[in-house]
Amino acid sequence: MEKLVYTVVDLIEILGISKNKAYSFVKEAYLSKDKFRVIKIDGSYRIPKASFEKWLNEGN
């Protein structure tokens, strides 16, 4: 089954950034709500794949 959400670890691999940078980036997106959608579940971040890929493909 295809993943519907990414984790921070997935973004580390996709973007080629460090763990600290990835968590800062996702937390910023979660708080600002102007990049891509981020869901927080029991302290863990989940990023809907469609929302992230749309943001990424728009060249942001």
What beta strand segments (E) does the chain contain? Answer: 5-6, 39-41, 44-48
pTM of the model: 0.87
The confidence band for 60, taking pLDDT boundaries of 50, 70 and 90, is low
**CA dist., res. 12 & res. 15, Å (int):** 6
**CATH classification code of 5-57:** 1.10.10
The residues spanned by each domain of the chain are 5-57
Task: List beta partners, residue 48.
Answer: 5
Number of Cβ atoms within 10 Å of the Cβ of 35: 17
Arithmetic mean of pLDDT over the chain: 95
Q: Taking the alpha carbons of 54, 23, 31, 46 in that order, is the dihedral positive or negative?
A: positive
Cα 58 → chain centroid? 15
